[in-house]
Chains A and B, each alone.
Chain A
Amino acid sequence: MVKEQIKDGIWTKEVNVRNFILSHIRPYHGTADFLVGPSARTKKLWEACKAAMQEERENNGVRAIDTETISTVSAFDAGYIDRENEVIVGLQTDELLKRTMKPFGGFKVVQKALAERGLEPEQRLAELFSKHVKTHNDGVFSAYTPEIKKYRSLGILTGLPDNYARGRLIGDYRRVALYGISFLIQSKLKDLENLQSPMTDEVIRLREEVSDQIQALNEMIVLGEKYDLDLKRPARNAREAVQWTYMAYLAAVKEQDGAAMSLGNVSSFLDIFIEKDLEEGMLTEEEAQELIDQFVMKLRVVRHLRMAAYDDIFAGDPTWVTEVIGGMLNDGRTKVTKTSYRFLNTLYNLGPSPEPNLTVLWAESLPENFKAYCSKVAIATSSIQFENDDLMRNLRGSDDYGIACCVSHQDLGKSIQFFGARTNLAKTLLLALNEGRCEITGKQVVDGIAPLEEGYLDYEKVMANYKIASKAVAKVYNDTMNIIHYMHDKYYYERAQMALIDTNPAIDIAYGVAGLSILADSFSAIKHAKVLPVRNEEGLTVDFKIEGDFPKYGNDDDRVDTLAANAIADFNYELQQLPVYKNARPTLSVLTITSNVVYGKKTGATPDGRAMGVPFAPGANPMHGRDSHGAIASLNSVAKIRYEDALDGISNTFSIVPKSLGATETDRTDNLVAILDGYFSRNAQHVNINVLNKETLIDAMERPEEYPQLTIRVSGYAVNFTKLTREQQQEVITRSFHESM
């Protein structure tokens, strides 16, 4: 920025992006009328990207793979899509959509992913990694106990980041634009200097980490040079601010392939640079939109090398480039700026898309115009999710935060999280009903669970057994997480992202659960109806006979909703009792991504009447078809799960046919605003909004080529519908579509 435009403040003396934003942000309360369409250059570039993505689809989901290079921050020469039309430059490799090897998470996974495509890693690398280099995956398995391995293989713990990067860390990528890398290196050197004797484990580890971070910053400078960018200094104008921010993010996704590689909250930061350039006549609105369109385009073509099994859990090749938009500052001003609109406008200019994962931070006092615009975009594109800014801001204290992955709060540059997938609560209940044995294999998993008497299930006795089972599961889960994150730090440390985060940040360790609605409805059936287990000759439950009706989660009925809320509170309590690596704070999520399908497959029949193998409802959703009082009652049930008990987030996916939202377009827009206002006023945390006709999805299953950009929200993120497996597509279609008439 030009010197005289800068207001001095704390941010000029120390790394403090929030302080810069507070003193420069220009909240915008107006309408979307100022927005413009894509530039000619953007259109050309996007055509090229779409053609490449078409090739990717035709080639079974992968366009190209490099088998010779370990992808690091400074690996690969510069790559372009169409250089003369590119306003924002930079690709992960020298070629669009080329995937790369990031072997430090686990070399076997890389080998497998390549083998599935008929490829092999370059021979010397193969030899190096099989004989001499230890990876995160090797480390984890050298420490895993037989018990942990059993929990893993039986599907009690699934999707653990023990053979790929954990992700979920958000670097404060804005720092590179605001400060330039030289300043950031100086700041880290100071931190290093202050890490002094006595050399305890903690200090030694931190000194090594900071040194690695500085190395990564130096490599970022090299990355910039490849594109003729001088990242050592701060950005001087809007184009540079976008470019510098993107380069910082690019460094992260070149080196790490975490499931979620989120962006944070860059829109309103970039707005400050854009508005200044606009005011000084250095930029037109067309050019401003072009910067954002092209930045977003780059975020849409981020790719990682994955093996097919990964798709069972995280379907549709997601990258979770989550960017939060909107929200409020603690001083009462809104963070909505014109660039908040410009980001959402990319869904029109480039068409709907799962990435970046656009997440609107909803607050009661958001500008009404912005609320209406978000509602309109959500209805038109089914590409955005909404999260409760009032709730998170008040509970977490921070007003400068991002969302990692789907629902995980992160104070930008100040805190990180250790991702831990999830455990299966429905299966945990079945352990309680089967003397601690897996209901499918009969293997003994948890000791000390007494057999239940013959006849109808007794609620109190079941609950007593469940408590023992869930305590045991929590303990093994905690052991597993400690091992995973110890090893990840040791073998696959995120030096590039951590270089853009304060030294020694706060850490949340993020546990998760699947099967909440199954658990709650099962408890309810046992409590309010009569449930008779049907057992095989080994005494394992194979079915349940239910006599009488029972309240079901999803109908705003406290008699069952309380059971759901308490189950989360209780499991969270168990987790809070256990020792955690690096003294991280235990948090819990109710989020399944698309793993609700695979979890269902690995779980026998449950006392709520669900048959063996049937998919769970996603996240905190009520089970398909059991919410009979309409959509609001369903939302109210989910809102009763307390965020305080699940600080890693509570995901709800809301699908509705357009007509059910209202008769006219204006009605629909207004009604969705009212739904969001109402839902979040009840302290709910998250909702995905899909406004689609079932017929559209069915047609897209049959004729995927007609719907290359059809985007739907699933638990916490969006996917391209045609990239889901047929089974997952079926599950999405079966899921509650609210269609009252």
Chain B
Amino acid sequence: MSSYPKTTIIEATNTILRVHSIESLGTHDGPGIRTVVFLQGCKLKCVYCHNPDTIAMDGGEEYEIDALVDRVLKMKPYFGKRGGVTVSGGEPLLQSKSILPFFKRLKQEGIHTSIDTNGRILNHFTKELLDDYTDLVMLDIKHMTEEGYQALTGMRNKETTFNLAKYREASGKKMWLRYVLIPGLTNVPELLHAMGTYFKDYKTIERMEILPYHQLGAHKWEALGWEYPLKDARENTQEELQAAVAILKNYFKEVTLN
């Protein structure tokens, strides 16, 4: 992305968001056409990450909330009835405190808001953000087993993610689940059944979204001088994708391939 616009760094952190990049025609991160704000920084290092350049906590570009809102307002005419703004990352909830005033402004403008998260943070700010200003949570269910979760993300305690799901369910507000499908690693019938069984009674889950694994992010790992961990992984075949959809359809009212 270009290094413009450069904004003055202001010390009060809650009026600044550390942004990796902005996609003005987001069509795969929530309903309709969305401005997707990719935030910088993530505590996980998922082996399939297709935006590894968003992982580092430093870097990115500092945006004042006002500048960001201005940018979004220019995109607003394109949102139609369904679109809006998604913050993704990186892990956006790391910057919950700053997303709060951003989303507050967006809600004042009548704009649909969504957060794409791994769900590992649930604090006072996150709760206010999710309950009061976030129309849709897209929660990334990395893996259904603890070992698998750790192998994929480098972190322990998959339950933190599930706790956020429980919290969202209790709030009664909308949620999509997302699941990166990798042949042999996550595209395993038992795991899919396990996920379905775990979440089947959730009423707030509108959609189960499958993200078929692709290698399009591999070159970014190389650019960072990192070894790409999934060099030997392959993409799902059409049959494998359809088989996964078929399993999940037993549990969720809407299953989509993204």
Query: What residues make up the interface of A, taking CB atoms closer than 8 Å to B?
Result: 549, 551-552, 555-557, 559, 628-636, 660-664, 667, 670-671, 673-675, 677-679, 681-682, 738, 740-741
Contacts and interface: CB of A to CB of B under 8 A. Distances in A.
B33 interface: yes
B82 A670 contact: yes
Contacts of A663: 27-28, 256-258
A636 B25 CA distance: 11
Contacts of B203: none
Nearest to B27: A662
Contacts of B82: 670, 674
26 contacts: A551-B5, A557-B5, A559-B4, A628-B1, A628-B2, A629-B22, A630-B22, A630-B23, A631-B24, A632-B78, A635-B78, A636-B24, A660-B27, A663-B27, A663-B28, A671-B27, A671-B80, A671-B83, A673-B80, A674-B78, A675-B33, A678-B75, A678-B76, A678-B78, A681-B77, A741-B214
Given A632-B75, A663-B258, A670 B80 contact: yes
Contacts, number: 101
B77 to A, nearest CB: 4
B23 A677 contact: no
The main secondary structure of chain B at its interface with chain A is loop
Nearest to A680: B77
Given A677-B80, A678-B79, A741-B214, 10 more contacts: A557-B4, A628-B1, A629-B1, A630-B23, A674-B81, A674-B82, A675-B78, A678-B76, A682-B77, A740-B26
Contacts of A740: 23, 25-28
B3 interface: yes
B79 A551 contact: no
Nearest to B75: A632
Contact of A549 (B4, B50, B80, B256): B4
Interface in B61-82: 71, 74-82
Nearest to B4: A551
B85 to A, nearest CB: 12
Contact of B24 (A549, A556, A667, A677): A556
A632 B33 contact: yes
A738 B2 contact: no
Contact of A636 (B74, B214, B256): B74
B24 A629 contact: yes
B32 interface: yes
Contacts of A661: 27
Contacts of B1: 628-629
B209 to A, nearest CB: 9
B178 to A, nearest CB: 12
B256 to A, nearest CB: 6
The main secondary structure of chain A at its interface with chain B is helix
B78 A630 contact: no
A682 B76 CA distance: 10
Contacts of A555: 2, 4
A741 B216 contact: yes
Nearest to A549: B3
A678 B80 contact: yes
Contacts of A633: 22, 24, 75
Interface in B24-80: 24-28, 32-33, 35, 50, 71, 74-80
A657 B258 CA distance: 15
Given A671-B33, A675-B33, A551 B256 contact: no
B4 to A, nearest CB: 5
A670 B34 CA distance: 13
B12 to A, nearest CB: 26
Contacts of B3: 549
Contacts of A660: 25, 27
A664 B256 contact: yes
B80 A551 contact: no
Nearest to A550: B4
A189 to B, nearest CB: 52
A551 B71 CA distance: 15
A636 B23 CA distance: 13
A677 B78 contact: yes
B79 A674 contact: yes
Contacts of A678: 33, 75-80
Nearest to B216: A741
A569 B27 CA distance: 35
Given A628-B1, A741-B216, A677 B25 contact: no
Contact of B71 (A552, A556, A662): A556
Nearest to A668: B27
Contacts of B71: 556
B190 to A, nearest CB: 26
A630 B71 CA distance: 13
Interface string B145-188: 00000000000000000000000000000000000000000000
Contact of B2 (A552, A630, A635, A675): A552
Given A632-B24, A670-B32, A675-B33, A549 B2 contact: yes
Contacts of A559: 4-5
A555 B5 CA distance: 10
A558 B2 CA distance: 14
Residue among B21, B24, B83, B256 facing the most chain A CB atoms (10 A cut-off): B24
B26 A674 contact: no
Nearest to B79: A674
Contact of A677 (B22, B27, B77): B77
Contacts of A552: 2
A628 B20 CA distance: 13
A674 B83 contact: yes
Contacts of B258: 663
Contacts of B83: 671, 674
B33 A674 contact: yes
Residue among A631, A667, A674 facing the most chain B CB atoms (10 A cut-off): A674
Nearest to B5: A557
Contacts of A741: 28, 50, 214, 216
Q: Nearest 8 CB-CB pairs, A to B?
A: A678-B78, A674-B80, A632-B24, A630-B24, A678-B77, A631-B25, A633-B24, A681-B77
